[in-house]
């Protein structure tokens, strides 16, 4: 076999291992021979297949096999010797099937990736496994098509990543839906398309949506914008405001884990220490939402009080959503706000 033919058979052997094998689907040398002939019209002998397998292992591919030991007679010496036979070969994958399913499910439940791009990414992830994987993932074809329409979301991520790494401000327009069910740029008081200038700090995924944590240029606080609603984004020459210089930050750098615990619904408003009473079956939900830094006290048979540092707007929304199982006790202004909003809601339904 010539050098070119050898390289081709090596490549084709690798492609067969990628397409047909995993821990549950293995191939013998005889089956590899048959597939080389069937898929590539290539006829080789067993020695070539074995040589290809050894070469692939030497090149760094992780190929597992079943080893069987047997006694054979050495044709030269006539002595009976122990010999190891390798069979049932498969290519070890970079990602296991459960890992790929987890990644694919994350895409399917994401609301910030356009449908066409999501489908494209799913197909790329599928290609990391073999032909048997897709057969068990037929539900992928039923992906909802009501995802974001902003097809430049990946471009936004790329630009924001560059701006954050360079410490530069960005400008963009921000989309919102109209009654025509289409997205349009938000307008300013004069009816012109509004241009936002912000200092970007971090991008995070929350409840299937992708957010930009940033500072809007005219204020000294933190804002959160949906990345999939950003359009016409540009990196500016102006340097971004350092996060620790913002009044809200209290001189500290952005602690993302802490920020996400305090901003349950990604609202932009002041944070404060809030005391509230919950029914005890909600304890797990509270820890899931606010983390383990919360303090429980004044426990009764049915309820317990909680103290947590949280975003005020998020806390109001949380208390309204879970009333009467959640009752804000302090601060009193927040308690009154929830009370008044619940009253307005009740009057609307009278």
> Domain holding 41: CATH number?
1.10.10
Please check whether residue 109 is in contact with residue 146, taking contact to mean a CB–CB distance below 8 angstroms.
Answer: no
Is this model's pTM higher than 0.75 or not? no
State pLDDT tens for residues 52-62: 998 999 999 99
134 and 85 in a common domain: no
Could you give the number of structural domains in the chain? 4
Long-range (24+ apart) CB contacts under 8 A made by 118-125 are 118/143, 118/147, 119/143, 125/100
- Asked, for residue 265, whether it belongs to a domain, the answer is no
pLDDT one digit per residue (tens) for the chain, 350 residues = 677 888 888 999 999 999 999 888 899 888 999 999 999 999 888 888 888 998 999 999 999 988 766 667 777 777 767 666 678 898 998 888 878 887 887 777 666 677 777 788 888 888 888 888 765 555 444 455 555 555 677 788 889 989 999 999 999 999 988 777 788 899 988 999 999 999 999 888 776 678 898 988 888 778 888 888 899 999 999 999 998 888 766 677 777 666 666 555 555 556 788 999 999 988 988 887 787 888 999 999 999 999 988 878 888 888 998 899 999 999 999 999 999 999 998 899 88
Residue 55 has a CB neighbour count (10 Å cut-off) of 16
Q: Strand (E) positions, the chain? A: 63-73, 80-91, 168-177, 183-185, 196-206, 209-216, 223-226, 230-239, 271-279, 295-297, 303-311, 326-330
Rg (the chain; Cα; Å)? 30
159 and 205 in a common domain: yes
Q: Domain of residue 307: give its range.
A: 271-349
**Could you tell me the sign of the dihedral formed by the alpha carbons of 163, 164, 166, 167, in that order?**
positive
Q: Of 91, 109, 129, which residue sits at a domain end?
A: 91
Burial class (CB in 10 A: 0-12, 13-18, 19+), 73: exposed
- Asked, for residue 22, whether it belongs to a domain, the answer is yes
**CATH code (residue 281):** 3.30.70
């Amino acid at each position: 076999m010539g050098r070119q033919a050898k390289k081709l058979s090596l490549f084709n052997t690798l492609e067969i291992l990628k397409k047909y094998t995993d821990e549950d689907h293995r191939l013998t040398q005889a089956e590899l021979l048959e597939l080389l002939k069937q898929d590539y019209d290539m006829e080789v002998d067993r020695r070539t297949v074995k040589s290809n397998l050894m070469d692939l292992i030497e090149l760094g591919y992780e190929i597992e096999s079943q080893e069987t030991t047997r006694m054979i007679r050495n044709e030269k010496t006539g002595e009976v010797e122990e010999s190891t036979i390798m069979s049932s070969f498969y290519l070890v994958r970079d990602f296991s099937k459960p890992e790929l399913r987890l990644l694919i499910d994350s895409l399917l439940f994401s609301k910030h990736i356009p449908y066409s791009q999501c489908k494209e990414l799913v197909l790329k992830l599928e290609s990391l496994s073999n032909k048997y994987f897709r057969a068990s993932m037929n539900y992928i074809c039923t992906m909802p098509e009501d995802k974001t329409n902003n097809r430049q979301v990946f471009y936004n991520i790329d630009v924001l990543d560059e701006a954050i790494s360079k410490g530069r401000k960005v400008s963009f327009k921000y989309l919102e839906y109209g009654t025509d069910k289409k997205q349009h740029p938000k307008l300013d008081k004069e009816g012109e398309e509004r241009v936002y200038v912000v200092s970007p700090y971090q991008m995070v995924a929350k409840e299937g949506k992708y957010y930009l944590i940033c500072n809007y240029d005219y204020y000294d606080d933190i804002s959160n914008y949906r990345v999939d609603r950003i359009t016409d984004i540009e990196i500016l020459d102006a340097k971004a405001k350092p996060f620790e210089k913002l009044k809200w930050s209290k001189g500290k750098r952005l602690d993302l884990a802490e920020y996400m615990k305090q901003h349950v619904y990604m609202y932009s408003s002041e944070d404060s220490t809030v005391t509230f009473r919950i029914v005890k079956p909600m304890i797990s939900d509270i820890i899931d939402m606010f983390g383990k830094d919360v303090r429980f006290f004044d426990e009764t048979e049915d309820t317990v009080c909680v103290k947590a540092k949280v975003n005020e707007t998020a806390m109001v929304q949380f208390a309204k959503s879970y009333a009467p199982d959640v009752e804000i006790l302090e601060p009193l202004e927040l308690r009154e706000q929830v009370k008044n909003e619940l009253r307005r809601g009740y009057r609307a339904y009278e």
